[in-house]
A and B are shown apart, each in its own frame.
Chain A
């Protein structure tokens, strides 16, 4: 299924900012908020996983039902998961298309990666010194 991809703040994402290594931050940013009708079309239950493929790559997220999100649109809180699919082009403005790319959605059984794994996938080295 194709959908328009949107990202932005949520209060749970904002609360997680001071401790991004904690599971709360991962839980707050690795969700894909969808209209219940879209969820039904994909034959997904809330809490199941969805593979989101965008212009820059793909990422596995947890599907969450949200009536406020219009059909045909998904909302992913800003963070490393949303950025895994967004292209870096800015059309000469400095601002990437955080709110206007098109993505493909399909159900998946794959696990949601940990944020540290996402950073290792782009060439980083996880720091485990203070993880509880």
Chain B
């Protein structure tokens, strides 16, 4: 069977033009997706955990959904400071149920944002977000900057759908009329096709952004001959290109948020865009990784006022990244139970955090066997949103998209499982 106009549930581009062919319950062909998206869709059906599993002394055994959900509700109810972490590769509906449960439990809910674009949000809270939709970029932008990111590997269709290789309504010959500037600490494949490749010494982004801001504001006299490995000539060329553009779009990745300076780097980038807006039109967009990590920020914000790392232990929503973020809570050995949903801290958190996670009662809700599986006491397999479950996901520009189901493999969805656990918790807390 052929399914047209399907949505790719992998990265924040949420490409919506996939053609997927299925035979029975198998995906046999995926058209239009990049290698990441097609790998996910071709393989996600094959590597599922068959049923819930639980640890029994020194071994694993199969369990029923009912037993696994009872166990989950039990450890969350017993905990003084439960951590509910993950939420980026699931539907907005499940995220909402998670927030309600965290509130009722007096726990902490955090998404993978804290280890990807959390610092971008901190910067946006300080100085605002000059953003726009990807459709605006595609149709209008004649200068694209990718800073500290590598779309070729992490968002492979970003350039063909929205920037360099995309036709634009207001550009005669989009490929020729659009210029490309790449800023990175290493020369990646993306760098080799750029009009300007600016190689920054590791940790030098803040200084380079400051130098560009000085030039844009007419103070090139204060800029030394090289800044973090970039020559003044190149800085002047790049600043001139930025000022000459009709519509510039700056995209940035974790190269800014994870490097020294963290959110201050992003703040400086936003302020550069602000400076450039005195001359011409400029926008800035974080390249979001997981297909619905942006959704977790949206859902948490409508429900609590804060985008991630929300702590309900004071009976009101409290937010303080560095204190209420998952890595810090685990490293300080603060939480005494954990529910991990649709994410893999086992693969992506520092070792010290994993040591604590492995020592407390914890449950993983995830379709596959992941690096987190060995660290938890129980795993509940669920459907993959965008494959055997429908739901809402937010694209990296904040546009909500209905992600569609095209298979039925008999698994419950994240929303169903979390809602049922929430009901069990409610029966005890609010009988």
Contact = CB atoms under 8 A, between A and B. Distances in A.
Contacts of B328: 88, 90, 94
A93 B43 CA distance: 35
B195 interface: no
B351 A122 contact: yes
B47 A19 contact: yes
10 contacts: A14-B36, A15-B36, A80-B347, A83-B350, A88-B353, A90-B331, A92-B323, A94-B327, A123-B359, A129-B53
Interface in A76-132: 78-80, 83-100, 115-116, 119-120, 122-130
Given A20-B369, A70-B199, A100-B202, 14 more contacts: A6-B202, A8-B253, A20-B368, A80-B346, A85-B351, A88-B350, A88-B351, A94-B321, A94-B327, A95-B262, A95-B325, A122-B351, A123-B355, A125-B60
Given A15-B35, A100-B259, A122-B358, A93 B322 contact: yes
Interface residues of A, number: 57
Interface in A5-39: 6, 8-11, 14-15, 17-22, 29
A92 B115 CA distance: 13
Interface string A43-87: 000000000000011000000000111100101001110011111
B348 A120 contact: no
Contacts of A95: 114-115, 118-119, 257-258, 262, 325, 327
A9 B154 contact: yes
Nearest to B50: A130
Contacts of B289: 9
A41 to B, nearest CB: 18
A89 B289 CA distance: 23
B35 A11 contact: yes
Contacts of B60: 125, 127-129
A127 B374 contact: yes
B185 interface: yes
B375 interface: yes
A73 B255 CA distance: 14
A34 B151 CA distance: 21
B375 A68 contact: no
B119 A96 contact: no
Contacts of B347: 20, 29, 78-80, 83
Contacts of B277: none
Contacts of A73: 185-186, 202
Given A18-B43, A95-B119, A68 B153 contact: no
Interface in B22-39: 35-36, 39
Contacts of B131: none
B225 interface: no
Interface of A: 4, 6, 8-11, 14-15, 17-22, 29, 56-57, 67-70, 73, 75, 78-80, 83-100, 115-116, 119-120, 122-130
A127 B327 contact: no
Contact of A11 (B36, B58, B118, B321): B36
Interface string B235-271: 0000000000000000001110111101100000000
A119 B47 contact: no
A91 B39 contact: no
A111 to B, nearest CB: 19
Contact of A8 (B40, B150, B263, B374): B150
Contacts of B262: 91, 93, 95
B254 A123 contact: no
Contacts of B150: 8-9
A76 to B, nearest CB: 12
Contacts of B354: 83, 119, 122-124
B329 to A, nearest CB: 10
A79 B203 CA distance: 21
B169 interface: no
A20 B344 contact: yes
Given A92-B321, A94-B309, A18 B44 contact: yes
A125 B58 contact: yes
Contact of A9 (B58, B122, B153, B260): B153
A68 B326 CA distance: 33
Given A21-B369, A94-B115, A75 B186 contact: yes
